[in-house]
A = this chain, B = another copy of it.
Amino acid sequence: MNALVNASIKQPFQIEEIVPSVDCGRFPVKHIVGEAIAVWADIYRDGHEIVAAELIWRGESESDWQRAPMTHQGNDRWVGSFVPGRNGRFTYAIEAWTDEFATWRHGFELKHKANVATELDAMEGASLLTRALNGDQEVTAKIAGACENFLQSGAYEILLAEDLKKAMAEGQSRKDLTRSAPLRLLVERPKARCSAWYEMVPRSQSPEPGRHGTWNDCIDRLPDIQGMGFDVVYLTPIHPIGRTNRKGRNNALKAGNGDPGSFYAIGSHEGGHDAIHPQLGGLNDFRRFVAACAAAGMEVALDFAVQCSPDHPWLKQHPEWFKRRPDGSMKYAENPPKKYEDIVNVDFESSDSEALYRALRDVVLFWVAQGVKIFRVDNPHTKPLRFWEWLIKEVQSRDPDVLFLSEAFTRPKVMKGLAKLGFTQSYTYFTWRTERWEIEQYVTELAGYPEREFFRPNFFVSTPDILPFHLQRGDPWMFKARLALAATLSSNYGIYNGFELLEHEAIPGREEYVDSEKYELKSRDWEKPGNIKAYIALLNRIRRENPALQQTSAIRFLPVEDNSVIAYVKHSADQTNVVVTVIALTGDFREFWLPLGDLQVRTGSNALSPVTALENLKSGPTSPVAYGGMRLWIDPVHDPVLLFRCLG
């Protein structure tokens, strides 16, 4: 009988195909606080007994389960839902049991109708009542009352009363109680779902050419960024920069006199990952910058890049955290045959790796203590997956508001794996996707199952490392189209400063900026003629005003015949807000039919109504929908983007 002791086969119910779940519960499903999560499962047992089920959940450190009833949807498929009331990590599971009284009642009712019910049949039901008299007072009173009434009158109807059935469902013990394997849930704040990032290099924010930017300069820049409608100001690394093997302009092996070096060569005698580059200002100035951002309705995101310059204090304080070569020399970063002699990587396999893990965690916690709640992590795919899983949990267990963006441009499975293990948002291949078929295919993949349960894309139009070929001609319509694609396909998106000025000078034949800001101070005229700041502001305003655009999963592409135009519809969870986006993918004038099909919108009356008109979200006028669509034209030179709100 040993096998019977095995808990897994002691359970009378099979509870299967639980949705959502990620890799059988190995990784958490991601969700947003305050939004209902529906959990589906196949639930069954042998026989024809009447069964009941509950969805149960609790915070990872809580002992008491919260409960919500599940309802049968047919074919043994059940659903229940709950609304997580706070951020953090949760466990959820499903419990099923046999409703013994309802089962008896069902049979008794059939016999009663067929006039074959006997007193003995009734007594079987009554005996269930007497066994259910030890729970909640009110319920017990109801059951006891019914029991007494029946014993006095013998009237079968008493046992068949609807409210007794309900009382017994609550009062009787849960026979055959079976609990599914536990599943994990990671609940984050709404910013995890929707954010507009502005990437900026603090040292380049000085208005005087050649002068190193300061926090005060950065503060002065905030109204401009706020005016464009961004809500995350993401800073490239702000730490002291090493001098040993410092890189010069355009990634030159030797720095010229006064070259500031790459801000990714972190650490000098002035400090490491928890220090600020002295020319930017002190910690108090930084705190003022954080406060100024908050006052402007924006958050600061810091760059977390684990690598060190050879001058990083850790090399002296913790030499065992770094790999040496057989001759005792330092092992620099390399990507054979290339070497990066301004950078050394920490050794996650160090004999003292626990202290290293803790030190890296404490770097993040240090900046959290300064008010930073968002981290963009540089190249996470070249550090152990288990390290990130540990670090993110460690930080979020102390502050569940902290969000992490994975900057991994690598193989698809690895990018998804980082998202599974806890990264809040992820960089994507969007930066290079330009054809309609590949955009539709990629977004459909990310918006679909199982990716939507764990992968939140953040679409960047460019980065300091990537100036994609399609932007290198500097066509304004292309900048606008790419901005609009990023901002409307994905509820998380970002631009890198200079994009608004149409910066596009590349190293010939490569997707890299010439005179990259990574290796020199930049000075820009933020009011440069031809800038698209007003256009960005308009798009961000439309995003803010339309919940349909504040999520990434509910998207459907519309079959416009002309492949040089892409069109899609997104809707808010309650379907009251439905937005159609149409974007030109080439620079030519286009006239085309926009097929809307059976598009519906929930109107004030709370009913779904066919879409009868489209309101132009940029220019205001409303046009009627006829024959299931609308004739439209786009003149990309004027504006490559149409945005409509659907009216019922």
Contact with A75, one of B3, B108, B412 (Cβ below 8 angstroms): B412
Contact with A9, one of B336, B337, B390 (Cβ below 8 angstroms): B390
Cα distance A597–B104 when bound, in Å? Answer: 57
Contact: B120 with A411, CB < 8 Å?
A: no
Contact: A382 with B46, CB < 8 Å?
A: yes
Contact: B10 with A386, CB < 8 Å?
A: yes
Contact with A337, one of B114, B354, B357, B386 (Cβ below 8 angstroms): B114
Contact: A46 with B9, CB < 8 Å?
A: no
Any chain B CB within 8 A of the CB of A1? yes
Contact with A411, one of B16, B44, B412 (Cβ below 8 angstroms): B44
| Complex interface: chain B residues within 8 A of A258 (CB) | none
Any chain B CB within 8 A of the CB of A607? no
Contact with A76, one of B45, B106, B108, B411 (Cβ below 8 angstroms): B411
Cα distance A44–B416 when bound, in Å? Answer: 11
Any chain B CB within 8 A of the CB of A440? no
Cα distance A42–B417 when bound, in Å? Answer: 10
User: Distance (Å) between the CB of A326 and the closest chain B CB?
Assistant: 5
Any chain B CB within 8 A of the CB of A350? no
Cα distance A107–B337 when bound, in Å? Answer: 7
Cα distance A304–B47 when bound, in Å? Answer: 17
Contact: A42 with B114, CB < 8 Å?
A: no
Any chain B CB within 8 A of the CB of A573? no
| Complex interface: chain B residues within 8 A of A26 (CB) | 8
Contact: A417 with B110, CB < 8 Å?
A: no
Any chain B CB within 8 A of the CB of A631? no
User: From residue 401 to 435 of chain A, which have CB atoms closer than 8 A to chain B?
Assistant: 411-414, 417, 420-421
Cα distance A108–B23 when bound, in Å? Answer: 37
User: From residue 345 to 375 of chain A, which have CB atoms closer than 8 A to chain B?
Assistant: 354, 357-358
Known: A75-B411, A336-B108, A411-B44. A9 touches B123 (CB 8 A): no
Contact: A414 with B337, CB < 8 Å?
A: no
Cα distance A326–B357 when bound, in Å? Answer: 66
Known: A106-B336, A336-B107, A417-B14. A4 touches B354 (CB 8 A): yes
Interface string of A25-52 (1 = CB under 8 A from B): 0100000000000000010111110000
Contact: B1 with A358, CB < 8 Å?
A: yes
Contact: A120 with B381, CB < 8 Å?
A: no
Contact: B417 with A44, CB < 8 Å?
A: yes
Contact: B108 with A386, CB < 8 Å?
A: no
Any chain B CB within 8 A of the CB of A334? yes
Cα distance A23–B393 when bound, in Å? Answer: 27
Known: A1-B354, A4-B386. A336 touches B75 (CB 8 A): no
Q: Which residue of B lies closest to A394 (CB)?
A: B3
| Complex interface: chain B residues within 8 A of A106 (CB) | 336
Q: Which residue of B lies closest to A355 (CB)?
A: B1
Interface string of A276-299 (1 = CB under 8 A from B): 000000000000000000000000
| Complex interface: chain B residues within 8 A of A417 (CB) | 14, 16, 44
Any chain B CB within 8 A of the CB of A116? yes
Contact: A46 with B116, CB < 8 Å?
A: no
Cα distance A8–B24 when bound, in Å? Answer: 13
Cα distance A47–B75 when bound, in Å? Answer: 46
User: Distance (Å) between the CB of A381 and the closest chain B CB?
Assistant: 6
User: Distance (Å) between the CB of A98 and the closest chain B CB?
Assistant: 10
Cα distance A4–B127 when bound, in Å? Answer: 53
| Complex interface: chain B residues within 8 A of A107 (CB) | 334, 336-337
Any chain B CB within 8 A of the CB of A111? yes
Any chain B CB within 8 A of the CB of A113? yes
Q: Which residue of B lies closest to A23 (CB)?
A: B16
Any chain B CB within 8 A of the CB of A444? no
Any chain B CB within 8 A of the CB of A316? no
Contact: A3 with B393, CB < 8 Å?
A: yes
Contact: B385 with A124, CB < 8 Å?
A: no
Any chain B CB within 8 A of the CB of A325? yes
Known: A110-B337, A326-B127. A413 touches B8 (CB 8 A): no
Contact with A4, one of B16, B334, B335, B357 (Cβ below 8 angstroms): B357
| Complex interface: chain B residues within 8 A of A525 (CB) | none
Cα distance A420–B181 when bound, in Å? Answer: 17
| Complex interface: chain B residues within 8 A of A9 (CB) | 386, 389-390
Cα distance A380–B45 when bound, in Å? Answer: 11
Contact: A357 with B75, CB < 8 Å?
A: no
User: From residue 326 to 344 of chain A, which have CB atoms closer than 8 A to chain B?
Assistant: 326-327, 329, 334-337
Cα distance A4–B4 when bound, in Å? Answer: 34
User: Distance (Å) between the CB of A53 and the closest chain B CB?
Assistant: 14
Cα distance A1–B356 when bound, in Å? Answer: 11
Contact: A381 with B414, CB < 8 Å?
A: no
Cα distance A386–B46 when bound, in Å? Answer: 9
Known: A24-B24, A326-B127. A46 touches B413 (CB 8 A): no
Cα distance A24–B327 when bound, in Å? Answer: 49
Cα distance A295–B326 when bound, in Å? Answer: 74
A-B contact pairs, 7 of them (CB 8 A): A44-B417, A46-B381, A47-B382, A110-B336, A120-B325, A120-B329, A124-B325
Known: A111-B337, A120-B326, A123-B327. 20 other contacts (CB 8 A): A3-B394, A4-B386, A8-B26, A12-B385, A14-B417, A14-B421, A16-B413, A16-B417, A24-B24, A44-B411, A46-B385, A47-B382, A48-B382, A107-B336, A110-B337, A111-B336, A116-B337, A120-B325, A123-B326, A124-B325
Residues of chain A whose beta carbon lies under 8 Å from any beta carbon of chain B: 1, 3-4, 8-12, 14, 16, 23-24, 26, 42, 44-48, 75-76, 106-108, 110-111, 113-114, 116, 120, 123-124, 127, 181, 325-327, 329, 334-337, 354, 357-358, 380-386, 389-390, 393-394, 411-414, 417, 420-421
